[in-house]
Amino acid sequence: MDATLAPHRLDALSAGARPRADARRWGRWALNGAAALSLGFILLPLLLVTWLAFFRQEIPSFPPEGYSVRWFGAVANNKIFVNGFLLSLQVGIAATLIGLALAVPASLAIARRRFFGREPINTLLLMPLVVPGVVLGTAIYVFQIETEIATGLPVLGSTAGLVAAHALIVIPWAVRLVTASFAGFDPTIEEAAKNLGAPPFTTFRRVTLPAIRPGIVAAALFGFVMSFGNLEMSLFLVGAGRTTLPIAILQYLEWKIDPTVAAVSVLQIVLIGAAMIVTDRYVKISQVV
């Protein structure tokens, strides 16, 4: 009797397994489709801007009348764009270095020490990520005015004041990424180095720093990108006759709508993309991001 029922049981089991396999297959296809749609939604503006940068006509229209690269030459010949790029580059590099110099010790203290007020300090360091850029720019603008009145120093409109403000938006990214690197680091390796006679600074330089290097590099990259592309806060803090690249683009759009702005945007995309590729070549950003 059991021998005659065994094939029927196997058929029933296989029939029950097929719907489950089909459901998993459909679920996998649905997930991949949703991921593809999300990626397309993210990349579509970049593709459209890149396409627009090669339009031949001055006033963009569809379909294009032809294609040309003359707008990239117009960017190089525009002194406002060139000066804005140089200022954004200087401010971004300086703010990144200052932000890392402050964020790495803070991340080390938060990840390795237990002290009173640790969580409030960690929240305070991440606060610029959740404060709107207009609110943050207004607050820093008022602070710099009060500082200038109290000390007589020309803070408002100076490059130093702009760098200090941009360092505030670099610090949260640096703290977040460097702290993530410490989370995956085994502290017993540091203890082993100390037990072998290495002083604290040598332990940090030879053991800790190489282990958290991916987080530091990723923090420098993301911090620089955030500073380089900042618009809201910079509007309040740039001095007369000086402008960053995002502000130069905004001012240009007030009077013209030709593809020059699209060409500037493409150059920014290429610059940031090349920086990410080169960085990931030597330090795997995916380890901490």
Burial class (CB in 10 A: 0-12, 13-18, 19+), 114: exposed
pLDDT at residue 153 is higher than 70: yes
What's the mean per-residue pLDDT of the chain?
80
Q: In sequence order, what are the residues at sequence separation of 6 or more whose Cβ sits closer than 8 angstroms to the Cβ of residue 182? A: 107, 108, 111, 112, 212, 215
* DSSP code, position 59: S
Decide: 208 and 190 in contact? Cβ < 8 Å: yes
Residue 1: its pLDDT value, please?
47
Q: What sign does the dihedral 272-219-181-36 (CA atoms) show?
A: negative
pLDDT at residue 118 is higher than 80: no
DSSP, collapsed to helix, strand or coil, labels residue 67 as: strand
Residue 77 or residue 17, greater confidence: 77
Average pLDDT (160-173) is: 88
Q: Other CB atoms closer than 10 Å to residue 139's CB: what's the count?
A: 15
Average pLDDT (52-80) is: 80
Residue 3: its pLDDT value, please?
53
Confidence of residue 284 (pLDDT cuts 50, 70, 90): low
pLDDT at residue 25 is higher than 80: no
pTM: 0.78
